Amino acid sequence: MKEILHLLNPHWRGAELKLGVTRLDYLQALLSNLERQEVSILVGSRRVGKTTLMFQAIHHLIAHKGITPNQILYVSLDHLALADFTIPKIIEGFRAEFRHPRDRPLYLFFDEIQNVSEWSQHLKNLVDFEKVRICVAGSSSLLLKQQESYLTGRTLRMMIFPLSYREFLTFKNVMPGPTELYRHDGLLIDYLYQGGYPEQILSPHPTYLVDLLDNVINKDIVRVYSIKSPEVLNKLLLLLAQRLGQRTSHSKLKNILRVSHDMVRDYIGHLKDAYLIYEVPKFSYSVNEQVYAEKKYYFADTGLRTALLGQRDLGGLAENALFLYLQKRFGQVFYGRANSYEADFVVLEHGQPRIYESKFSEQINDDELKPLLKFLNKFKPEAHAAEATVATRSIRESRVSAEKPIQFIPLWMLFMQGNY
């Protein structure tokens, strides 16, 4: 074990860590969390940047907080050489290597924590009785939730998303200046096709996202949940990609796939828990209606959808990207439906509903707005004052249609507002 720990912790010998490009908002949030006693839990899909964020935090602690390198332990718990070691044994080996007394503050970073059984019980004991600061990361939502109950009241969760459009520009080092705004159209299309996985943006490879999907499906779903019909799981994911943003139900999907209702329900749950898709409920003030109404599905990254279907359907990708922006900004997104009329998205801001519609076009006439306007007219009475925003390809203006004020804004411009 000693050799593996030294291999995983190059900072002990003064070597450089692989720091990548800093995502400052995430780094500042993690550093702030590490000042507290609670366990910081980084969640998100594979390769979204959780490990890099850990390395950046380690570097900051050493370079700016004066923490001695050998007070910091990083362990990747999917390393085969550590498969037979428990967390207490690993920490015992770490303490012994540097003769750390019990009262010396230690910083512990555990990656792929879901690969170790009873991890939360061990971390609870550390938090309660040791002088430590702990950060863990995991790629399976369900496994984390199953064990996290032992740490109730002792955790700070951080969801790490793929790159936003603003971060995408930073990673590519192509931030257009005030006189180059015309460049955003082409850059946004690149972003919609490529998505926001950091490694793929820094070093594009034609099979990267396909390999990522294969890894997530086989390591985080098929192996973990002992899936007996992986071919059905793959067909379901492809079906959701083809029906992006369309209302559907478990019953419809089971009929198409010719499998049981329970299998569709479970497999969708696994895809959600592996951070591949999001499920969007209908907006309603009735919880019962939210639960039982049809759902819509979007991908956690537009590049994943491209990996499944190829470079096509810019409109669908733009709608998916708008959803991700709203999800990060508001935390909960619904679709709108009143009678037979729909709006793409409904969010609540300070308790008031706001409507967002995706129309990735350079021209939008009043006829194209009729479904949205009819939805606004049929929407719940208490929501009649809801603001409506249409995300476009290039149109920026305000209109009043059928006595309804509507704001039109280019999608890239909306993405540049704030750090979402």
Q: Tens of pLDDT along 370-413? A: 889 888 888 865 555 678 999 999 999 998 876 778 999 999 99
- Helix, coil or strand: residue 280: strand
Cβ–Cβ < 8 Å for 276, 212: no
Per-residue model confidence (pLDDT) at position 396: 94
Cβ–Cβ < 8 Å for 172, 297: no
Give the length of the chain: 420
Q: By C-alpha distance, which of 412, 192, 111, 322 is closest to 201?
A: 192
Per-residue model confidence (pLDDT) at position 275: 92
Q: By C-alpha distance, which of 290, 274, 236, 266 is closest to 48?
A: 274
Cβ–Cβ < 8 Å for 360, 314: yes
Q: By C-alpha distance, which of 131, 97, 122 is closest to 9?
A: 97
What is the rounded average pLDDT for all residues in the chain? 91
Torsion of CA 271, 29, 20, 91, to 10 degrees: -80
Distance CA 186, CA 170 (A): 15
Per-residue model confidence (pLDDT) at position 345: 97
pLDDT bracket for residue 339 (50, 70, 90): confident
Q: What is the pTM of this model?
A: 0.92
- Strands ordered across the beta sheet of 341-349: 334-338, 341-349, 352-358, 387-392, 404-410, 397-401
Q: By C-alpha distance, which of 312, 318, 324 is closest to 275?
A: 324
Distance CA 72, CA 69 (A): 6
Per-residue model confidence (pLDDT) at position 149: 67
Q: Tens of pLDDT along 225-256? A: 889 899 999 999 999 999 999 999 999 999 99
Q: Tens of pLDDT along 297-329? A: 999 999 999 999 999 999 999 999 999 999 999
Q: Which amino acid is at 170?
A: T
Q: Tens of pLDDT along 120-152? A: 888 888 888 889 999 999 876 655 665 666 777
- Helix, coil or strand: residue 286: coil
Q: Which residues contact 374 (CB under 8 A, 6 or more apart)?
A: 341
pLDDT bracket for residue 269 (50, 70, 90): very high
Q: Tens of pLDDT along 31-54? A: 999 999 899 999 988 899 999 999
Distance CA 172, CA 204 (A): 11
Per-residue model confidence (pLDDT) at position 382: 56
Q: Which residues contact 25 (CB under 8 A, 6 or more apart)?
A: 419
Q: Tens of pLDDT along 192-210? A: 999 999 999 999 999 999 9
Q: What is the largest CA-CA distance in the chain?
A: 75
Check residue 222 and report its DSSP letter.
I
Per cent of the chain over pLDDT 70 is 96
Per-residue model confidence (pLDDT) at position 347: 94
What would the 3-class secondary structure string for 326-370 be? HHHHHCCCEEEEECCEEEEEEEEECCEEEEEEECCCCCCCHHHHH
Per-residue model confidence (pLDDT) at position 206: 93
